[in-house]
Amino acid sequence: MPANASDRGCEAEHLRPGTRRTPAALLHAGCLLASTVVDFEAAGGVPFDNSLSVAWRNGGLLNRTLAALRPGDTLRFPRNKTFHTMGGIVAKGLADVTIDFSGRLVFSSDIDSWPKRSDGRVLEALTFDNVERVTFTSTSGEGLLDGQGPAWWGLPGIGYLQRQENRPRLFVVGKGRDILVENITFRDPAYWTFWAHGVDGLVVRYSSISARRGRRGRRGLAHPGRPRAAASLDASVGDDAHSLTELTAFNTDGFDVSGRNVHIHDCDVWTQDDTIAVKDDSQDMLFERITASGVGLTIGSIGASLVRNITFRDCRMPNTVKGIYMKFRGDGGTIQDVTYENIAIDAPSWWPIWIGPAQQSDSNDLCAAHPCSLCWPDAPFATCKAGASTFRNVLLRNVTINGPRGSPGVLLGHATARMENVTFEDVVVNNPALLDTDYHTCEGVGSGVATGTTRPVPACFEDQTTRSQKAGADATRRSRLRRMFIGQTL
């Protein structure tokens, strides 16, 4: 509610003779009834008009409507309606409200008109700061937030050089508590799709993210009983893959999160960057039953902070680029108490497993090492150096890599901050690349062990696999038989 409208003033407005009690009239008066369901169209939103003037009008109305919401209210974008809007939507301090994206919200592709800060940086598309007990849902199961990313990505390779990372995130929650996001499709972000930072209590479920230059994933049921918004990659990818052209939609991360008490489950993500990215100062997070294809189920990149108690389980990664990806960008950080369990990585085009420095460039030079070059190890001039940060208590259990195009991966720690207590249990590569069957790098590991059916075993790990144990038992038995034979012949 606006600061100049008191509860008493609003009550008088509701009771004044002749007052129109529609949401639009109450909003115009600066008041909303308690527990009001506000229909965005009825409040004055204009659907199906993609003109710039309507985008500004809808954006202004949306900002005012969000500012007027009170505890118990619901803002609804009606089903089968598409609203074009300008970005720079910001809501602060909401509590106990519901945002129902039953319709579609499409953000303007007019880059020149996009609102900017005084330093020239663009505003995010949709931001919610310091919110508590807020539900973002789609009761229709067909809710869509569309960032119109292709306009921002530009021509493959060239678009990034023009705008680099000055592009708006699609959906941002800052310092939220007890937040629920469900049944929503996020499509074609200009930059990161979903950025929840400093949160305490976040659940995301039955939702999907798609960032593609080419054909779109089909909407449908990924699993029996799941809402339509959770578009199934299983039903859409077929023989699809991440081409070099697709991958020029840089920085289109999926779910990026920091904070604590986060649970993301039963979601589908297809992006050209990290599908999940756990950021600095995070703990107590669970990601499960996720179908993800992109640049990894990721922890990082992490700076000089502590990340702990993170679990990924029961996930499938069809035609992905990277698989399991843990990365530091500098010194002084710690990633510990991490589990990846029951992960199927199908036909990865790059590294199925990477534990080490962040392989990235933060400049126009795509081969710059910040701290590990994207061109490493193929380009002879490329470098890759691990910072003095520590991986500790890392478990990969029941990880299956099917048909990788190259090496199973890289494990690269620092010489003085070596990896501690890293276990590969039943980490299996099926149909390995013909000339690239072993881990490319295994360095800076203080204590690593391979158990169960793990194959291949990283060179710097202790081999405690069942195959090794059987071979050891066979060798012991042969040695004992030789000693018995020699004793009998003397």
| Residue with the two structure tokens 């690349």 | 433
Distance between CA atoms of residues 139 and 203, nearest Å: 17
Instruction: With residue 403 as reference, give the H or E element that holds it.
Output: none
Contact, 124 vs 114, CB < 8 A? Answer: no
- Give the CA angle between residues 293, 380, 376 to the nearest 5°: 20
Contact, 89 vs 106, CB < 8 A? Answer: no
Contact, 283 vs 307, CB < 8 A? Answer: yes
DSSP state of 474: H
Distance between CA atoms of residues 419 and 64, nearest Å: 51
Distance between CA atoms of residues 203 and 59, nearest Å: 27
Listed residue (136, 142, 138, 24) closest to 80, CA to CA:
142
Listed residue (368, 365, 421, 423) closest to 395, CA to CA:
423
Q: Which fold has domain 47-273?
A: Pectate Lyase C-like (2.160.20)
**Range(s) within the chain of domains with CATH label 2.160.20.10:** 47-273
Q: In this structure, which amino acid lies at residue 43?
A: A
Q: Is 331 helix (H, G, I), strand (E, B) or coil?
A: coil
Contacts for 363 with CB less than 8 Å, ≥ 6 apart: 370
Token pair in block for residue 51: 């003109």
Token pair in block for residue 195: 């950025």
The pLDDT of residue 445 is 98
Token pair in block for residue 205: 């479920």
Contacts for 339 with CB less than 8 Å, ≥ 6 apart: 310, 311, 312, 313, 394, 395, 396, 397
Tens-binned pLDDT, residue by residue, of the chain (490 aa): 344 444 444 544 433 444 434 445 555 555 555 579 999 999 999 999 999 999 999 999 999 999 999 999 999 999 999 999 999 999 999 999 999 999 999 999 999 999 999 999 999 999 999 999 999 999 999 999 999 999 999 888 788 888 899 999 999 999 999 999 999 999 999 999 999 999 999 999 999 999 998 755 434 333 333 444 444 444 344 447 798 889 989 999 999 999 999 999 999 999 999 999 999 999 999 999 999 999 999 999 999 999 999 999 999 999 999 999 999 999 999 999 999 999 999 999 999 999 999 999 888 888 999 999 999 999 999 999 999 999 999 999 999 999 999 999 999 999 999 999 999 999 999 999 988 999 999 999 999 999 999 999 999 999 999 987 666 555 556 556 565 656 665 5
What global pTM score does this model have? Answer: 0.87
Distance between CA atoms of residues 65 and 141, nearest Å: 23
Compute how many other C-beta atoms are within 10 angstroms of the C-beta atom of residue 362.
11
Pair type for strands 184-187 and 194-205: unpaired
Helix H, strand E, coil C: the string for 221-261 is CCCCCCCCCCCCCCCCCCCCCCCCCHHHCCCCCCEEEEEEE
User: Which phi and psi angles does 381 have, rounded to 5°?
Assistant: -90, -10
